Amino acid sequence: MSAVHLTVDGGIATLRLDNPGKLNAFTPDMLAELAAHCDTLDRDDAVRAVLLTSEGERAFCAGADIKAWAGYAPAEFARIWVREGHRIFDRLARLSKPTIAVIQAHAFGGGLELASACDIRVMAPGATLALPESQVGIVPGWSGTQRLARLLPEPVLKEMALFGRRLSADRALACGFVAEIASDPLATASEIAAKLLTTSPRATEVAKYMIHAAVGEDRDAMIEALGSGMIAASADKAEGVAAFAEKRKPVFPGK
């Protein structure tokens, strides 16, 4: 039974976590579903923006289901659980479409790391953010000490990861981690996403690549994507492909 749903309505896609009985904690199946949906979204030109939401009023996402990883040997934990989760969250972060996390309730551990993989975040006033991994004898493993270090001030991140302090919506807004606090974060996020329907799809995609290259989010791939997109529109590329198909030497016009 699916626990990560994808719907598309009028150019706005919604990814919805649906495991409220476990506070939307991630299982291996949920990770696989999220990865598959990201592949689908990147190939759908009709999608202009992606909202990431979840079911329930108690938690946006409580992180990883402890029962899913507790039995792993150390090498398996690192290789299967941490690296695989990291890869999939990176896949979300590097979607070509703008993404908005709708944090309607608490986001802890992997749930906070999931929200940090989105481009912007809208948060309910009563929601809090936390990195409680040390309470169960582990450390953040899905970018909590890496991507979050680019999005939060170092002392604030240390408060959370080392001392277990929660970050309120007000402080998250003051830090620039969330774009807006709203009593109905889904409605607010939907309004923000709708603005993309009037903008250039290619311009927003390229702008996202440029920003990611600047901050180090998969910099190598972003630089090569930008360069490849530029050269793909050139007369030289058209001549090179034509010459290959016609089994002749290309005569490049330099345009």
246 is catalytic: no
pLDDT in tens, 15-74: 999 999 999 999 889 999 999 999 999 999 999 999 999 999 999 999 888 787 777 788
Determine contact, residues 13/45, Cβ cutoff 8 Å. no
Check 57, 76, 84, 133 and give the catalytic one.
133
Write out the H or E segment, with its range, that includes residue 152.
Answer: none
pLDDT in tens, 82-111: 888 889 999 999 999 999 999 999 999 999
pLDDT in tens, 199-251: 999 999 999 999 999 998 888 888 888 898 888 899 999 989 999 999 999 99
pLDDT in tens, 143-198: 889 999 999 999 999 999 999 999 999 999 999 999 999 999 999 999 999 999 99
What is the spatial distance between Cα 22 and Cα 166, in angstroms, rounded to a whole number?
Answer: 20
Exposure string (b/e) for 6-31, b if CB count within 10 Å is 16 or more?
beeeebbbbbbbbbbebbbbbbeebb
Q: 10 Å Cβ neighbour count for 106?
A: 20
State the pLDDT at residue 195. Answer: 96
Helix 201-215 vs helix 219-232: angle between axes, to the nearest 10 degrees? 140
pLDDT over 80 (residue 75) = yes
133 is catalytic: yes
Centroid of chain to Cα 64:
16
Burial bucket for residue 157 (CB in 10 Å: 0-12, 13-18, 19+): buried
For residue 31 the two structure tokens come to 């990770």
State the pLDDT at residue 74. Answer: 80
Write out the H or E segment, with its range, that includes residue 168.
Answer: strand 167-168
N- to C-terminal Cα distance for the chain?
Answer: 53
What is the spatial distance between Cα 50 and Cα 7, in angstroms, rounded to a whole number?
Answer: 10
What is the spatial distance between Cα 17 and Cα 251, in angstroms, rounded to a whole number?
Answer: 53
Helix 83-93 vs helix 28-43: angle between axes, to the nearest 10 degrees? 30
Check 113, 159, 191, 246 and give the catalytic one.
113
